[in-house]
């Protein structure tokens, strides 16, 4: 329990907030993949321990919705992320006071949620044909990515899969996950 009374690292959280504000949330949905997108996607999935799967692309919002609702998604991908998040959160709880840690993560996620919801709504309006609930889904996914990254960094992990996952969002992509045998990016 060494360091449990250590104050939360304000500058580290502020740096993350700045990254969140500067990210190009949902700006590249439906665009052709770049080498940078591919590189981040491969790094993300390799860091989770998966063999490099084929990388697929969702063309538009209805395509993304169909893929996200399909029954052949890979629960192992979600479960691996969740197990990692829980482990990192436990590590962070040994470093910082529980109430302060919980409050800072809640505040960050709330701020992020409002920001990315607006960005997702803008992208949906620009591209058209998105179900209203899908804007909430996109905002939920993006907020979760920021929460995961914050937990990892507060636990002192600067090379977690959540770094490359966030890079994809920051580049305007939405990683939809491992669906079928492919990692699908929107």
Q: Residue numbers of the site for other proteins (CB under 8 A)? A: 65, 68-71, 73, 78, 82, 106-107, 109-110, 113-114, 117, 133-134, 136-141, 143-144, 176-177, 179
Residues in the chain: 186
DSSP run (H or E) holding 31: none
Contact 175, 40 (CB under 8 A): no
Of the candidates 99, 107, 97, the residue with the CA atom closest to the CA atom of residue 150: 107
CA distance 168 to 131: 23
Q: How far is the CB of 176 from other proteins (least distance, A)?
A: 7
Contact 146, 112 (CB under 8 A): yes
Q: Which is nearer to other proteins, 3 or 99 (CB)?
A: 99
State phi, psi for 56 to the nearest 5 degrees.
-105, 170
Q: How far is the CB of 42 from other proteins (least distance, A)?
A: 20
Q: Residues near 131 by Cβ (< 8 Å), separated by ≥ 6?
A: 61, 65
Which runs of consecutive H residues, i.e. helices, occur in 48-181? 61-69, 75-95, 98-127, 132-154, 161-170
Q: How far is the CB of 147 from other proteins (least distance, A)?
A: 8
């Amino acid at each position: 329990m060494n360091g449990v009374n250590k104050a939360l690292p304000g500058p580290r959280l502020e740096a993350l907030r700045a990254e969140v504000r500067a990210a190009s949330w949902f700006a590249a949905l439906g665009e052709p993949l770049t080498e940078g997108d591919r590189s981040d996607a491969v790094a993300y999935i390799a860091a989770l321990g998966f063999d490099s799967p084929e990388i697929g692309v969702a063309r538009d919002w209805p395509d993304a919705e169909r893929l996200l609702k399909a029954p052949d998604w890979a629960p192992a991908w979600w479960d691996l992320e969740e197990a990692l998040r829980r482990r990192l959160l436990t590590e962070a709880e040994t470093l910082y006071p529980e109430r302060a840690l919980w409050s800072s993560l809640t505040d960050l996620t709330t701020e992020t949620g409002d920001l990315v919801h607006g960005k997702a709504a803008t992208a949906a309006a620009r591209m058209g044909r998105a179900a209203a609930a899908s804007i909430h889904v996109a905002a939920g996914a993006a907020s979760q990515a920021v929460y995961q990254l914050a937990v990892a960094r507060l636990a002192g992990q600067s090379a977690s899969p959540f770094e490359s996952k966030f890079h994809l969002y920051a580049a305007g992509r939405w990683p939809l996950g491992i669906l079928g045998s492919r990692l699908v990016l929107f």
